[in-house]
């Protein structure tokens, strides 16, 4: 990652993001999208000719994030044929209810009713010992409906789950992008970001 930025989230957690990823402070006014458009175009001048498309993309993301219970959100615009596509990162906290990280990952990857599930591929589950501790990773391709349109959008969704020691909660980082053609390089980037996840006092506990 180049020119990383940092984000401090609830519970003393922090992680780093690339310099061309920008925070969506939620909930906020939709007018903030215009300011964020300026910042993103400044960081990615190759998107200047597609400013209107970038602005529409960001306004949609602001609306979506405002309706979700997230701690913080980040986004960037990917320059791909056909117009810019977003990549997003949502950080959220969830009670573990006595479950382990491995069990939470198993439950998240289970298909209770394959006929109703929106996964295009079977979820792939990985387990790692990252700096933040035991971490599970769930990856899948998901299909989303588009309001007012017949076609559906396929997105790469990668989720990381780790326990926040002493709290009974888990932190979840959810990465998503419809730029599935870039899945290989984005998968690596998502993992790099997850590897920067830290919690307050971590070094003292080791």
Taking alpha carbons only, the member of 157, 159, 111, 107 closest to residue 135 is 159
The SS3 call for residue 107 is: helix
152 or 158, which is more confident? 158
Work out the pLDDT band at 3, boundaries 50, 70, 90.
Answer: very low
- pTM score of the predicted model: 0.75
Lowest mean pLDDT among 39-48, 98-107, 160-169, 174-183: 39-48
pLDDT reading at 206 higher than 50? no
Instruction: Check if the beta carbon of residue 155 is closer than 8 Å to that of residue 121.
Output: no
Calculate the CA dihedral of residues 142, 147, 149, 155 and round it to 10 degrees: -20
């Amino acid at each position: 990652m180049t020119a990383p930025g940092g984000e401090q989230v609830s519970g003393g957690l922090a992680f780093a993001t690339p310099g061309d990823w920008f925070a969506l402070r939620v909930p906020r006014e939709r007018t903030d999208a215009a300011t964020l458009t300026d910042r993103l175009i400044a960081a990615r001048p190759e998107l200047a000719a597609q400013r209107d498309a970038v602005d529409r993309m960001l306004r949609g993301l602001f609306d979506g994030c405002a309706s979700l219970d997230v701690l913080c959100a980040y986004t960037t615009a990917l320059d791909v044929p056909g117009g810019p596509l977003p990549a997003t990162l949502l950080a959220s906290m969830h009670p573990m209810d006595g479950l382990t990280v491995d069990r939470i990952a198993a439950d998240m990857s289970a298909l209770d009713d394959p006929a109703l599930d929106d996964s295009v591929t079977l979820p792939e589950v990985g387990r790692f010992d990252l700096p933040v501790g035991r971490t599970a990773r769930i990856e899948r391709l998901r299909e989303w409906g588009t309001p007012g349109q017949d076609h559906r959008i396929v997105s790469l969704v990668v989720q990381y789950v780790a326990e926040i020691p002493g709290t009974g909660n888990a932190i979840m980082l959810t990465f998503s992008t419809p730029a599935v053609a870039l899945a290989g390089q984005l998968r690596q980037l998502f993992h790099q970001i997850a590897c920067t996840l830290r919690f307050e006092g971590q070094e003292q506990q080791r």
